[in-house]
Amino acid sequence: MSLHLQPVPIATGSRDAESRLVSADGFLVAVLVRLSEDHGVDEGRWFLEAGFGRVDDQGQPTFADLDEAQAWIQHRLDGQ
């Protein structure tokens, strides 16, 4: 299963406006948002704004980069 990332601006009501729609086999599985300078040391990290199905996570983790985020999402989709 391969992931597809589509850049799209997002209205979070904050300066966090850059996001990626993450799809697996054509289905939307997650929305990742790049944290802006508003978040201090976390600026540039990717936040799991929303996850669907197996990617849903109340803890809403953040990731150092998109590779790390994709690996985490893939891991979830693989059912582990």
Partner 1 sequence: MLVRKLGSIARLSDEERRAVMRLPMTIRPLPGGHDIVCEHDRPMQCCLILDGWASRYQLLAEGRRQIFSFHVPGDIPDLQSLHLRVMDHSLCALTPVTLAFVPHEAIRDLTTGYPGIAATLWRDTLVDGAIFREWMVGMGRRSAYQAVAHLFCEMYVKLEAVGLAENHRYRLPVMQVDIADALGLSNVHINRVLRQLREENLLALRNGWLNISNWPELAKIGEFDPLYLHVDRLTA
Of the residues 25, 37, 38, 67, which one makes contact with partner 1 according to CB under 8 A: 38
Of the residues 9, 26, 59, 79, which one makes contact with partner 1 according to CB under 8 A: 59
Q: SS3 string of the chain? A: CCEEEEEEECCCCCCCCEEEEEEECCEEEEEEEECCHHHHHHCCCEEEEEECHHHCCCCCCEECCHHHHHHHHHHHHCCC
The nearest distance, CB 51 to partner 1, in angstroms, is 12
- Contact residues: partner 1, CB under 8 A: 12-14, 16, 35, 38-39, 42, 47, 58-60, 62
